[in-house]
Homo-oligomer: A and B are copies of this chain.
Amino acid sequence: MPSTPRDHGGGLDAAMETYGGDRADWLDLSTGINPVPYPLPEIPGHAWEALPDRNAQQALLDAARAFWKVPEGAAILAAHGASAVIARLPLLAAPGPVDIPAPTYNEHAAAFAAQGWTEAAAGAAARVLVHPNNPTGRLWSRDDLDAPLVVIDESFCDVTPEASLVDAAATPGRVVLKSFGKFWGLAGLRLGFAIAAPDTIARLGELTGPWAVSGPALHVGTCALRDPDWAAATRARLAGDGARLDALVTGRGAKLAGGTDLFRLYEVDDAAAWQARLAQRHVWSRIFPYSRHYLRLGLPAPGGWDQLEAAL
């Protein structure tokens, strides 16, 4: 069975092939990754050298529990990226109809389809709510958690922690996902979490296997999740940068269509033309196969605004 290439966004490699330039020339706004990453702490030698040990794993889970206010009665799993959990969620129940309100992050539909599920809103045995939604920014409510299995993907919720539905995670059949790479700006580290009832977490743990999280990820993740001050300052900075981006892009004729403080969604006349124009100045953006009008932009790093302004 050949691997199916999916539209993952990103694709800066391909953009460089078409438009020239090397990585240092490009301002990559095609993702929703915070461009000012959590400062890397010093990583002790044993984190690289030894198999990750139980104490280091427990320290990470304890930090995650405190940071996200995980309810008593819910357990946590750390995995090598939220995507690693997404691929295994469809194995939590027998295949049936799954409701994945569109448009949204396409990896969920691909994962359920790969396990024999079919998309259908009526009588859904499972429901996937990306919260806030990517790319629209839509938030869901407790009333929407209305299928036997409900996945609540909070990969972009750390900019709006007050909106989190993590409280629901102790209820059987509810799985909350958290991504480390996006808000903390360290997507290369590969770290993500699932929060759910203990039986569900044990099953997901079997499916992801032992030592899924690297020693450096355990160490950096633990430090970062124990640092609520950095998170608060980052939220404030991202909110300001989002407003600045909106002013800039709507000033060029785009209309704000949604987003979060990690990415903004605009409606434009011809998104492919906008993407090509920006790419000629080595700014990479995200467009979507299902919409002619949606243009999604991540936030520039502090040194990237001039390049973006010139490209617009």
Contact = CB atoms under 8 A, between A and B. Distances in A.
A118 interface: no
Counted per complex, copies of this chain come to 2
A249 interface: no
Nearest to A9: B51
Contacts of A12: 53
A212 B54 CA distance: 21
A55 B214 CA distance: 22
Contacts of A303: none
Contacts of A186: 48-49
Contact of A215 (B53, B188, B215): B188
A217 B87 CA distance: 21
B50 A188 contact: yes
A10 interface: yes
B49 A188 contact: yes
A216 interface: yes
A137 interface: no
A309 interface: no
Contacts of A54: 13
A211 B50 contact: no
B206 A1 contact: yes
B13 A53 contact: yes
Interface string A173-195: 00000000100011111100000
A172 to B, nearest CB: 14
B52 A188 contact: yes
Interface string A196-215: 00010011011001111111
Interface of A: 1-4, 6, 8, 10, 12-13, 23, 28, 31, 33, 37, 40, 45-55, 80-81, 83-84, 86-87, 107, 114, 181, 185-190, 199, 202-203, 205-206, 209-217
